[in-house]
Structures are given as C-alpha cells and as structure tokens.
Amino acid sequence: MASVDDYFNKLQETYTAISSDLIELSEQIHSDPELAFNEFKAVENCLKTFQKYGLDGNCDVYDLPTAIELKVGKGNTNVAIIAEYDALPKVGHACGHNIIAAAAVGATILLKDLVDQLDLTITFLGTPGEEGGGGKILMLQRGAFDNVDYALMIHPAPIDSWEMRCRAVEQFEINFRGKASHASAAPYLGKNALDALTLAQVAIGLARQQFKPDDQVHGIITRGGDAANIIPDLTSATYYLRSATLENLQRLKPKIFDCFKGAAVATQTEVEITETCPAYSEFKTDENLIANFKMAAHLIGLNKSNINDEGLSASTDMANVSLKVPSIHPLIGIESHGSVNHQKEFAAACLGQSANEAIKKGALSMALTAILTATNT
C-alpha cells in the first residue's frame, strides 16, 4: 500500500499538469458572474474541463437545470465533492465561488486514477443557488446525497480556518399593501405602505436591544414607491433572520413578524410575509473528517499558526447537508487586502496569484482528505 507521502507526491505531480486548466476555469466563471439557478455558462465550463480529462458529467439533474452530477469509480465508499458557482447581484464573485468550483473540479480530477486503489466512488456535485435559493437543500430533498458517505467542500475567506462559524438563516419577502392617493391634494384618502415599512424597520431596530448574541436581522427595501407625489400602495423588502440554530430561529421569528404585523395595524395596511427559499441550518462539522483535513492541511502548508479558530460567521446551505451526511467546510485564506466576503474588493481578490494558490490548496486538501479517510491513516 502506498504511503501518505507517495499519494501526496502523486497529487502534486498531477496538479502541476492540470493547474492551468483549473485557473482558466476559475477566471471564466469569475469574468461572467451568473445569479442563482442561472449559472449556465459556469456549468458548461465545468463540464468542458472534465471532458478534457476523460470525465463526463450530467447537468439538469434533480430538477435543477444548473445542477451537475458526475461519478468516478465504483468503490464501496462514496465521497461527494461539492462545487458552488453562483454570484452575487452587483458585486459578482465576491464570495469566491469561482475558486470553490475550480478546486472541486480539481480534487475530482486528482482522484480519478486512484479510485480503484482506494475503493472509492467520487461524486462531484455542482450545486446552484447557494447565495439565496438553497440549491443543496433542494438536491438533498431530491436524493442527491442519499448514497453519499461523506461530503467535502472548501470556501475562500480572508482567513484560514478549520470551519466556518455558521448561523441558521431564514429568508423572507415582505409586502405591505395600502391605498394610493395624491400626496398633496388628497393624502387623507391614502394608506401609506411606505410608512408601514418604515415603522416596521424602526420596531426591529428597537427589538434588537433584547436580542441574544447569536440573533441577527437584516434587510433591504426593494420597492419603496413609484413617485414622490403618490402615496405608495405597495412596498416590498427582503429580510434575513439568523440565529445559532434552526430551533433558535423559531424563537426569534415571531418577534420579528410581530414588528411587521404591528406596523400594518398602525397604518391600516395589509402585510404579506413569504419565505423565499428553504431555511439554512446550523453546521455540524464531522470530527473524523476534520482531523484528516488537518493532516492534509499540514502537508500542503496550511499550518496551525495560520489558522483562526474563531472562524468567519455566515450561513450556507451546505449546513443542511452536514446534518444528514458527515461533512466539512473549511476556509482557505486569500490575500484580500482587508476586505471580506461580499465586498467588491473581495471579488477582485478572487483572481490572481493568491486566489490561484487557494485553488491549489483546496483541490489538494480535499483529495488528500479523501485518501486519508479511505486508508484510515
């Protein structure tokens, strides 16, 4: 049986041969950002990269046109390697999903000639709509993870970390409906839907005084009215509610919903609250997998001195997978020049030498984690 060093040397040799194609893939996805469930060019470019190395995958799977499934090997242990490739509105790939996709494609290619030796099946899953939409949750519900033994994924960030500190989140659209009228000639005939939304936001701001430390609420107005001299009859907002767990969200949610409902009563308007995607859960990091990842990280240069154990607080639909399938979601640090995920400066940092190094570290660490787990080293 080959030693860990033998496997690592083989992975490095293979990575050198494929690195230019992975960097090109990352740059292609980054240069043409696509929003949730519309990542058609990203999917096409991932599949083209696979085809260059003799691998054929399928898109339009699990009733999602921009989901991908590709299987390599027929081993007894089925390892899912997870890719994301959707972008954010206005700021493009400011969460680095181009790096995630390239690293996941890379890890799959690195392992393709080792699956028989390791008794593995590698399942590459391209998952759409992480930035709102819950693509992984939909794929989980539709059976994509039914026969998966464990799942691996990496994510770029301003820091290295063994795991992302993850909050549960629910996403809602709020619509207030009132009655339009001339704002000067007959304001008394109107029912101001913008006043309702304003009042609701003030109420939420005051409610924060009683929040527990892990509770968060944040939102934006997506429609405020049509003209300054027309009392708005429809206003809309998008809101995120976060807490440490899904259970805690159920405690927070009624408090926030009452802010919207109370504002409707006060302004004689009507309010509709609609969930826009499945709830994202808290994350459960698998201890055995993360122990193997730490061994892999040491070999590739992610040393303990570079690790920030407090992690980066956010939410992900990979968390829902982790409650059903043993999973990890470590962070690979890039030189972000003081920026953080979801800033346009971070999008710029997701190209270039540091980003390319993150692709390498991500691909090698996931491949080596799969090897270490398969060999029980």
88, 182: one domain: no
More confident position, 306 or 74: 74
Tokens (6 digits) for 90? 């206005």
- Out of 275, 300, 320, a domain closes at 275
Tell me, what's the pLDDT at 305? 60
Q: Assign residue 192 the CATH number of its domain.
A: 3.30.70.360
For residues 257 and 314, membership in a common domain is answered with no
CA pair distance 42, 34, nearest whole angstrom: 8
**Those residues with Cβ within 8 angstroms of residue 58's Cβ, 6 or more apart along the chain or in another chain:** 68, 69, 70
Same domain, 247 and 326: no
Residues found in the chain: 377
Which residue do the tokens 């929003």 mark? 35
Report the distance separating Cα 120 and Cα 339, nearest Å: 39
Q: Are residues 45 and 149 in the same domain?
A: yes
Mean pLDDT along residues 14-42: 98
Distance, in Å, from the CA atom of 275 to the CA atom of 109, rounded to the nearest integer, reads 38
With a cut of 70, say whether residue 301 has pLDDT above it. Answer: yes
161 and 268 together in one domain: no
**Burial group, residue 246, by CB count within 10 angstroms (0-12, 13-18, 19+):** middle
Domain final residue pick, 253, 275, 297: 275
In a shared domain, residues 204 and 315 = no
Of 64, 73, 121, 105, the residue nearest 317 (C-alpha) = 64
* Whether residue 249 sits in one domain with residue 183: yes
Let me know whether 24 and 145 are in one domain: yes
Number of compact structural domains in the chain: 2
The per-residue pLDDT for range 181-234, each reduced to its tens digit, is 999 999 999 999 999 999 999 999 999 999 999 999 999 999 999 999 999 999
- Do 189 and 144 sit in the same domain of this protein? no
Task: Judge if 38 and 27 occupy the same domain.
Answer: yes
Quote the pTM value: 0.94
Work out the pLDDT band at 327, boundaries 50, 70, 90: very high
CATH code at position 322: 3.40.630.10
Smallest CA-to-CA distance from 222 within 234, 231, 235, 203 is with 235
Nearest to 86 by CA among 352, 357, 342, 368: 342
Boundaries of domain holding 231: 168-275
Give yes or no: residues 91 and 114 share one domain.
yes
Section 296-318 average pLDDT: 79
83 and 141 housed in the same domain? yes
DSSP-assigned states of every residue in 96-152? -HHHHHHHHHHHHHHHTTTHHHHTEEEEEEEE--TTTT-HHHHHHHTTTTTT-SEEE
Amino acid present at 342: H
Q: Which of 218, 247, 275 is the last residue of a domain?
A: 275
Q: In the predicted model, is pLDDT for residue 325 greater than 60?
A: yes
